[in-house]
Chain A
Amino acid sequence: MIGHDVFLPAPLLVLSFGIMIMLAATAWRRSAGRSLLGGMVTLLLALAVTGLHTGDMPGSKGDTLFIQDRWTTYTAALSVFSSMCILLMSWRDTAHEGAGTGDEYVLLFMLGTLGALAMVFSANYMPFFVGLEILGVSLMGLVAFRRRPATAGHEAAMKYLILSGVSSAILLFGIGLAYGVTGSLRFVPPIATADVPAALPVAATVMILVGMFFKLSAVPFHMWLPDVMEGAPVPVAAFLAVVSKIAIFSSLVRYFGMGEQPPFLNDILYAVIILTVLGGNLLALRQTTLPRLMACSSIAHVGYLLIAFVCPGLLQPGAITVYLAAYSASTLGVFAAMTAFAPPDGPEGTAVAQWTGLFSSRPFLASVMALMLLSLAGIPPSIGFLAKFQIAATGVAHQRDLLVCVLIIGSIIGLYYYLNIIRVMLATPSFPSASRNRDSRPELTALVIVLTIIVVIGGLFPVRTIHPLLPMRPAPPEMRDETAHWRADLR
């Protein structure tokens, strides 16, 4: 049915070819530096061609594997940009690996990005599931890359493998049910027809939703994320928190559309949002290491994003896009600061207590970290403030009073643990900080400056920076129209 269809979003092509060339180059001679360079160039190219595609955009009637519109362009650009930032973060350590396993790291990383992009662009269950698995398998490898201590990395990778496998199984079962109901692999929720029991499509939708929640780590499917992020190398943790979540959330929005959801779905989403926001924030209160804390905070942020997702209306597209950008930029900033702080050898500086007195020893790094944390907490003058404001606006506009209350309670709790880190950084260290490494890493400094500019400018002049990216009326409404066509076809 699709053999003759050559419609392909260009970033997928660029990434695939880039990975193949890198593979060939690795077979010829191993060099971590060249792999890193190749990866970076490929990502840059992919970013440059995000909006392009080969072949003709299929009409609304034709079945297609991929789709391209402003929503995919936006989320794909965001994913690729985040991947670039994360690659920069892992530059030094990977180059240190030298001829050992540096190439594999970069290759797995690029594959993970490819999987994420495939999910973003998919309009069919097949590429969605394949992308999900590419992402999952390469993430398992990446998580296990941690050298010090190696067992932690392996343990985290096993956890990720098992739980990711379970969630994929549930998702696949849901997809199978959906196919059984509709006889189509189109990436839209199944609709009940006369000859199947009404419960089947509901069960299929719920299973697919649960699979997605697993990957998004929404409470109560969140258990794996803190453990995995703690065990993984810091850049991989950033990849887990940013790129993989953007991809899943993008698919979620694509799948369910941006309109009003059916009541049973709304109820599930309500419960999950309340659990996720409160659960993520409460869990974060108890954490003493930064990756775990960021994992819990990212759980909570998924909850905030879902609030915007269940409040369709005038403000929703803006809220979701700004929030995604704000979350990605601020989280990447935090992880970049963590990477800059970590010494090249010895235990990594991931415990919050190790950050004591950073404002006096490394004021620039501490200021950046503080800004990023404030942005995550939603305090001006950062983009996170605007994002949280818009989320609250969508909630109030839709009179989701309960969700708005949860948002406020969650934000207040969140404020506490973000501020706590700033408080620790402001405190005077009880021990001399002579052993801190102060080697400069220009690539990280540049990255941190770029992210800072994004966060501040995005907060102060949101129109100039964010607005061109915003699909004011993004694709999902069109997609809903397509769904209507398709429903008509079915009948």
Chain B
Amino acid sequence: MIALPALVLLPVLGGGVAWVAGRIRPVPTPASRDAAWWVALVTLGMETLLLALITFGHQPHAGPWLAHFSMPWIPAMGIAIRLDMDGLSLSLIWLSLVLCFPCVFLSTRQVTVNAGAFHFLFLATLAGIIGTFLATDLFLFFFFWELMLVPMFVLIAAWGHEDRQRAAMTFFMFTQGSGLIMLVSILGLVMAHYRATGVLTFDYVTLSRTPLSPALSMLIMVGFFVAFAVKLPVVPVHVWLPAAHTQAPTAASVLLAGILLKTGGYGMIRFDVMLFPDAASRFAPVAMGMGVVGILYGAWMSCAQDDVKRLIAYSSVSHMGFVLTGIFCGSRMGMQGAIMQMLAHGLSTAALFVIAGAIQDRLHTRDMRRIGGLWAAMPRLSSAGVFFAVAALGMPGLGNFTGEFLVLLATWHVSPALATVAAAGLVPAAMYALRMVNRIFLAAPRVGQSPGPDFPPRQMAVLACVMALVAVLGLYPQPFMAFSLPLPVAAMTGGKDGAP
């Protein structure tokens, strides 16, 4: 089954072509910039087509998975290229692709310096993320996990805003450092398996059956948790996030907030809760407590920001607190809520970053004290902004509400007190979202402000699709909830390919 590696390789190849297309002429012209942009767009189109084929096509020999691929890589160490797709990875990959379209349509065309390289790095990050969602060999997972950081680092450091280099360094140091801790955990798990069975393997399914002492499994689980907590982010290790999101160019902000954070959530589901269910349930009170702290802290910090992108970044911290709480609830409902929250947050926050980027392009500032009254000048942009801000505050009928509600309900079953505190986080959420709407769009225009053109209809159409998706997630979430659950570990071993 070649579709899965193609899914990972296609963006890289397309990015390479885009790079070449951008450099064909020695002096960059608008035409060569556009060439790179077109190549990126076509690549994304082909990728979507491929994903649609995998989604709706019939997959033979996939076993319990939706799609499966495996070939040996480093047999001496039991490392193979194993890619598997279940509902969770499929829905997150769909999210990634859907988000790339607004990025490409609304933002990357404005990149004037070295557009070819920009598109290559953009698509390379996407490839790394997709690989992370698909890998079921722990070495391969780690490989992709590290791989997606490098292009993102360069995107931030080279195309970002004023304080970009510091932000990029912090981002890389935090994620890579925590990644090394995960590496030790992976190796610990593999070695424990080797000692117990004499088989050296990095296969997820095989390793899931490793007999572990409670202390050891706790230690390994926490090692994984640290890496994912940095990515998600969980509050004490969220330091990199506001800077990175704020300083990154718009497209990179969208990728960061929309998808990169989801790799943390995905990892927690796949490699913490599912791989070490016992240790995770013992660790759950701590994790849920951290999640609730994140909800409150993120919302509170968000209320205090004047920088639009920083405000959105802190709101992400708050929303990801819901994801963490939901994942560690230990119930199906909490898991569903967390996944719904990831999808809805991806869409709404990414759209907010696109809008914030558009505002910055037009007004050359992100400071809300110097922006105001955009509604009159740019009605389309403003209406989109209001829609997604309202979605972010958890308006019933939109996707984020579904996720937050499910998580709160699931938390209530575990601990009513915790659910109450978490629900209190919705109040500052309303505060920061409405404050942002009020100051940017509704207040009186500032003196000396020269608003640029509004969104053209084509860009508006792309945003409208995202809006529609957020609304569907809110109004009719059932199919997504049922579909996007991860494949249980027990079911993986049942298939003919799943068994070693």
Q: Contact residues of A with B, CB < 8 Å? A: 314-315, 318, 359-360, 374, 379-381, 385, 389-390, 392-393, 396-397, 404, 408, 411-412, 415-416, 419-420, 422-423, 426-427, 462-463, 467, 472
| Pair A419/B180 contact, Cβ less than 8 Å | no
Nearest chain B CB to A442 CB, angstrom units = 20
| Chain A, Cβ-Cβ closest to B194 | A397
Taking A385-B143, A415-B176 as contacts, is the C-beta distance between A408 and B157 under 8 angstroms? no
Point out the residues of chain A lying under 8 angstroms from B74, CB to CB.
462-463
| Pair B183/A389 contact, Cβ less than 8 Å | yes
The secondary-structure label for the interface of chain A is helix
| Pair B184/A423 contact, Cβ less than 8 Å | no
Taking A392-B187, A396-B184 as contacts, is the C-beta distance between A412 and B200 under 8 angstroms? no
Query: Which stretch of B84-92, B164-172, B276-284, B437-445 is in the interface?
Result: B164-172
Can you list the 6 inter-chain pairs with the closest CB atoms, starting with the nearest? A396-B187, A412-B177, A408-B180, A426-B157, A380-B147, A426-B158
A-B contact pairs, 30 of them (CB 8 A): A314-B200, A315-B77, A379-B146, A379-B150, A379-B176, A380-B143, A380-B146, A380-B147, A389-B183, A392-B184, A392-B187, A393-B191, A396-B184, A396-B188, A396-B190, A396-B191, A397-B187, A404-B184, A408-B181, A412-B177, A415-B172, A419-B153, A423-B157, A423-B165, A423-B168, A423-B169, A426-B165, A463-B74, A463-B76, A472-B76
Out of A315, A419, A462, name the residue touching B172 (CB < 8 Å): A419
Point out the residues of chain A lying under 8 angstroms from B172, CB to CB.
415, 419
Nearest chain A CB to B161 CB, angstrom units = 13
Query: With the chains together, A392 CA to B142 CA distance in Å?
Result: 13
| Chain A, Cβ-Cβ closest to B147 | A380
Query: With the chains together, A385 CA to B139 CA distance in Å?
Result: 11
Nearest chain A CB to B20 CB, angstrom units = 13
Taking A314-B200, A423-B165, A427-B165 as contacts, is the C-beta distance between A415 and B177 under 8 angstroms? yes
Nearest chain B CB to A207 CB, angstrom units = 35
How many B residues touch the partner, as a band? 35 or more
Does B173 count as interface, using CB distance less than 8 angstroms? yes
| Pair B184/A408 contact, Cβ less than 8 Å | yes
| Pair B173/A415 contact, Cβ less than 8 Å | yes
Does B453 count as interface, using CB distance less than 8 angstroms? no
Nearest chain A CB to B352 CB, angstrom units = 27
| Pair A393/B146 contact, Cβ less than 8 Å | no
- If A374-B150, A463-B76 are given as contacts, then 6 extra A-B residue pairs at C-beta distance below 8 Å, sorted by A number, are A397-B187, A412-B176, A415-B173, A423-B168, A426-B154, A426-B158
Query: With the chains together, A427 CA to B114 CA distance in Å?
Result: 14
Does B73 count as interface, using CB distance less than 8 angstroms? yes
Out of B165, B183, B200, name the residue touching A392 (CB < 8 Å): B183
Does B75 count as interface, using CB distance less than 8 angstroms? yes
Point out the residues of chain B lying under 8 angstroms from A389, CB to CB.
139, 142, 183
Query: With the chains together, A389 CA to B146 CA distance in Å?
Result: 12
Query: With the chains together, A379 CA to B152 CA distance in Å?
Result: 13
- Mask: chain B, 123-160; 1 = CB below 8 Å from A; 0 = not: 00000000000000001001100110110011001100
| Chain B, Cβ-Cβ closest to A374 | B150
Query: With the chains together, A249 CA to B63 CA distance in Å?
Result: 49
| Pair B147/A381 contact, Cβ less than 8 Å | yes
Query: With the chains together, A389 CA to B75 CA distance in Å?
Result: 15
| Pair A467/B76 contact, Cβ less than 8 Å | yes
| Pair A411/B180 contact, Cβ less than 8 Å | yes
Which of A381, A392, A423, A463 gathers the greatest number of chain B CB atoms within 10 Å? Answer: A423
Point out the residues of chain A lying under 8 angstroms from B73, CB to CB.
463
Point out the residues of chain B lying under 8 angstroms from A318, CB to CB.
76-77
Query: With the chains together, A318 CA to B76 CA distance in Å?
Result: 9
| Chain A, Cβ-Cβ closest to B73 | A463
Point out the residues of chain A lying under 8 angstroms from B77, CB to CB.
315, 318, 390, 393
Nearest chain B CB to A20 CB, angstrom units = 43
Point out the residues of chain A lying under 8 angstroms from B142, CB to CB.
389
Query: With the chains together, A419 CA to B172 CA distance in Å?
Result: 9
Nearest chain A CB to B443 CB, angstrom units = 36
| Pair B169/A419 contact, Cβ less than 8 Å | yes
Query: With the chains together, A374 CA to B153 CA distance in Å?
Result: 12
| Pair B173/A412 contact, Cβ less than 8 Å | yes
Which of B149, B187, B200 gathers the greatest number of chain A CB atoms within 10 Å? Answer: B187
Point out the residues of chain A lying under 8 angstroms from B158, CB to CB.
359, 426
Nearest chain A CB to B149 CB, angstrom units = 8
- Mask: chain B, 80-118; 1 = CB below 8 Å from A; 0 = not: 000000000000000000000000000000000010000
Nearest chain A CB to B71 CB, angstrom units = 11
Nearest chain B CB to A112 CB, angstrom units = 34
Taking A396-B187, A396-B191 as contacts, is the C-beta distance between A420 and B169 under 8 angstroms? yes
Point out the residues of chain B lying under 8 angstroms from A396, CB to CB.
184, 187-188, 190-191
Point out the residues of chain A lying under 8 angstroms from B169, CB to CB.
416, 419-420, 423
